[in-house]
Amino acid sequence: MSRESDTRAAAARHLEAAQCHACGHVFLPFGPVCPRCWSDRLGKRALTGLGEVATFTVYRQQYHPDFPTPYVIALVALREGPRMISSIVDCPPEAVRVGMAVRVRFKPRCERWLPLFVPAADAACPATAHRGLKE
């Protein structure tokens, strides 16, 4: 895959969740019925890709060559309600905090485009945002 097609593929990526047409509940993962009302009248809804870190852990043991340590596995609470497990990247692990605003960024890993999360632009990584500022 060329660099240009990589860029096009990444630009086309977005998050989707299931949405119940009966009660409006937005959820992940997709399933055959709504976990709130059991309706099978479901559709898809595009998500903003914005959320915050609900909880996280730092892995210091490498299990896969595409995931050098240390790396952060986090439960991200998406703005629309669903929560998903992903990784926080482009931020030192020691700077990740519960409640930190993040946004999705698709990155190639293990021959796929994975939805990873980076600090949101308006809430940049604390280690970067406060560099050079007096505490």
- Verify binding: residue 23, Zn ion, rule CB under 5 A: yes
Say how far apart CA 72 and CA 104 lie, in whole Å: 14
The footprint of Zn ion on this chain (CB under 5 A) covers a number of residues equal to 8
User: Which residues partner with 71 through β-bridges?
Assistant: 59
Q: How far apart are CA 105 and CA 76, in angstroms?
A: 13
Query: Do the Cβ atoms of 87 and 117 come closer than 8 Å?
Result: yes
CA–CA distance, 107 with 112 (Å, rounded to integer): 8
Among 10, 37, 85, 129, binds Zn ion (CB under 5 A): 37
Q: Rule CB under 5 A: choose which of 15, 17, 18, 34 binds Zn ion.
A: 34
**Closer by beta carbon to Zn ion, 36 or else 79:** 36
The reply on whether position 20 binds Zn ion by CB under 5 A is: yes
Site residues for Zn ion per CB under 5 A: 20, 22-23, 25, 34, 36-37, 39
